[in-house]
Structure 1
Amino acid sequence: MQFNRRTGMLALCCSAAFAAFTSPLSWAQDYPTKPIHIVVPLPPGGSNDVLARVLGQKMSESFGQPVIVDNKPGAAGNIATAFMAKVEADGYNIAVAPNQTVAVNPVLYPKLPFNVNRDLTGITMMGRVPMVLVVSPDKVQATTVAELIALAKANPDKLTYASAGSGSPQHMAAEVFKSMTGTSITQIAYKGSAPALVDVLGGQVDVMFCPMNSALPHIRSGKLRALGTTGSKRVELLTNVPTIAETVPKYESDIWIGMVAPAKTPKAIINKLNAELRRSLALPDVQAKLAEQGIYAETSTPAEFTKLIADDQKRWAAVIKSANIKPE
């Protein structure tokens, strides 16, 4: 009997020790023990890529492990999202998540091989990228948002705007603008933001809602005229340019970018990643690097970011239905 009692106690102690060693908290304390991959759903060079590389460097320094940026562009970001929905939920694959991929695409595309709300979970909001409403100065005489609205109303369907394709931030910003101003401006869709901008610069297209980092050099050179920014407040890099909301009350259509992980990633690891990303985004040198690209750091709790995704899906679903937007 004594032998059985001792054996049982030993087994119980071993079981407790094993449970502690394999618990999610233990994983988080040891994490990371190998390279972390940050998946970016768009090509190199844009705001999503800049955020991933700047923060990846800081994470590597803090964690003592390599942080590798994996660009997986294609299908409007759906290729990367599908990959994240199936990858192992161990914290070693996380993804940059702009609003297009996690808030617009899920309500734009009727059949996707994943469910964002079921398969992914938020880590943190990382930043916002205001867009700028720009016009070709040689082709469009409007110098203010009010003048552009008047011009569009006087010439329905004659003005054109460039977008990076159906469901892109440029497209959605324009559709919200048209809905709120009662204007009719014709979309010219391109396969990406770069070719769209080229044709606005060349005067082939009249108008574009352009990401700040892409528009700035051309605004400064005089090749584009900035009429308004899409955020709720003026941006430091263009203090003389009003927000569109100063003319069209409550208008807002920034690009926001966050970080997500597979839904079953241990909460302790999510919290550790959240703390590290928020620490990095608060650093003055990081904020300065991002601001140079027109990216404004903004963070959140995991729950807040997950809620933002769900709330924005409802918002864009209403816009898509109202404007009868179809995927390409």
Structure 2
Amino acid sequence: MLRAIMTVILVALSGYVFGQTYPSKSIKLVVPFPPGGVADIIARPLAESLTTHLGQPVVVDNKGGATGTIGASMVANAPADGYTLLLGTANEITMSPTLFKSLPYDPNAAFTPITPVADFPNVLVVGPSVTSKNFNEFLELIRSKPGRVTFASSGTGSTNHLTTVLFASQVKLDIINVPYRGGGPAIADLLGGQVDAMFATLPSAMSQIKAGKLRALAVTGGIRSFALPDVPTIKELGINGVVVTTWNGVLAPAKLPPKITKQLHDAILHVVDDPNFREKMMAVGVEPISTTPAEFATRIRSDYERWSTLIRRNGVTVE
């Protein structure tokens, strides 16, 4: 009799465990870059707000290395149960597939796109070693010194490096790329006068621009940035084809159940509309955004086609 009662209890408990709604435990949000970078700046308030909306802890896990591909690979190979998510960027999703000869994941098949959460342009900034007061003066400086003006980047194949390649190819300029291991060291040398310019991500350069230590000459967005309303776009200045904005978005492993996809998407929409989250993002030059999963997948495919064409055409390789 006792054994029968225990069996009934165990079956009931088992049904309870398996019947629990998602989420029933903490969620890991993998950031494929080290702490302190732009993705990390976005991930932490996102995780904090998602914790409130989902009712379970959302924990940021920084897994940097290999231009974001180590962290992306970790998520690609995780169970598709909604407990391991990626705060993805254009680097490891739309650029790395062409830059690297082989990847441990297929960006087109390894993930379930949920929604982008942030969008921002790059900003052309010059350091104290450059006396040019505006974009046209700087353009003339480059033309007067072919092969001598240096542009920093956070690494070969990074968003700011490929924006530099795109810019140079559109304007037919001979400039030098100086790759660094991250945006922080690149901006430090720009401030120190070791390099001349950089297409920095706006969030990484905002504080130095506001402090007057870097001079912003142009932004790469289709319209002026709300954060720098007095700085023109490159398109405004007569150069087409250099409209670039960078997204950060949430992705899950492939074949995530539709019900969980919808639940995560709905929760993230609440976060993006949260005034507190929006205030934190806009303070660093980031525009909070959201789309449907299908629209996000379309943007990923479009960006992949654009960057892969540029990379192949210009022979960009990663050592």
TM-score above 0.5, yes or no: yes
Counterpart of 2:29?
38
Counterpart of 1:196?
186
CA distance in 1, matches of 2:76, 2:203: 30
Counterpart of 1:14?
none
Structure 2 SS opposite 1:117: coil
Q: Which of 29, 53, 61 is equivalent to 1:62?
A: 53
Within a 5 Å distance, the mapping from 1:1-328 to structure 2 comes to 30-137=21-128, 139-247=129-237, 248-328=239-319
Give the Å deviation of 1:147: 2.1
TM-score (structure 2 length as normaliser): 0.91
CA RMSD of aligned residues (A): 1.6
Structure 2 SS opposite 1:246: coil
CA distance in 2, matches of 1:124, 1:147: 40
Tell me if the contact between 2:32 and 2:70 (Cα under 8 Å) persists in the aligned partners: yes
Tell me if the contact between 1:47 and 1:293 (Cα under 8 Å) persists in the aligned partners: no
CA distance in 2, matches of 1:92, 1:203: 45
CA distance in 2, matches of 1:87, 1:55: 21
Aligned identity (percent) is: 38
Stretches of structure 2 lacking an aligned partner (at least 5 in a row): 1-14
Moved over 6 A (4+): none
Counterpart of 1:7?
none
Counterpart residue type for residue 45 of structure 2: V
Structure 1 SS opposite 2:81: coil
CA distance in 2, matches of 1:162, 1:47: 17
Stretches of structure 1 lacking an aligned partner (at least 5 in a row): 1-20
Give the Å deviation of 1:250: 4.0
Structure 1 SS opposite 2:108: helix
CA distance in 1, matches of 2:130, 2:245: 24
Tell me if the contact between 1:124 and 1:299 (Cα under 8 Å) persists in the aligned partners: yes
Report the count of equivalent residues: 303
Query: Per residue, is there more helix in 1 or in 2?
Result: 1
Tell me if the contact between 1:47 and 1:295 (Cα under 8 Å) persists in the aligned partners: no
Alpha-carbon deviations, 1:123-165, whole Å to 9, x = none?
A: 101111222101123x223222222222212221110000111
Structure 1 SS opposite 2:264: helix
CA distance in 2, matches of 1:143, 1:252: 22
CA distance in 1, matches of 2:76, 2:205: 33
CA distance in 2, matches of 1:250, 1:105: 21
Alpha-carbon deviations, 1:263-306, whole Å to 9, x = none?
A: 11101111110111011101111111111121111111111111
TM-score (structure 1 length as normaliser): 0.89
Tell me if the contact between 1:149 and 1:181 (Cα under 8 Å) persists in the aligned partners: no
CA distance in 1, matches of 2:260, 2:145: 55
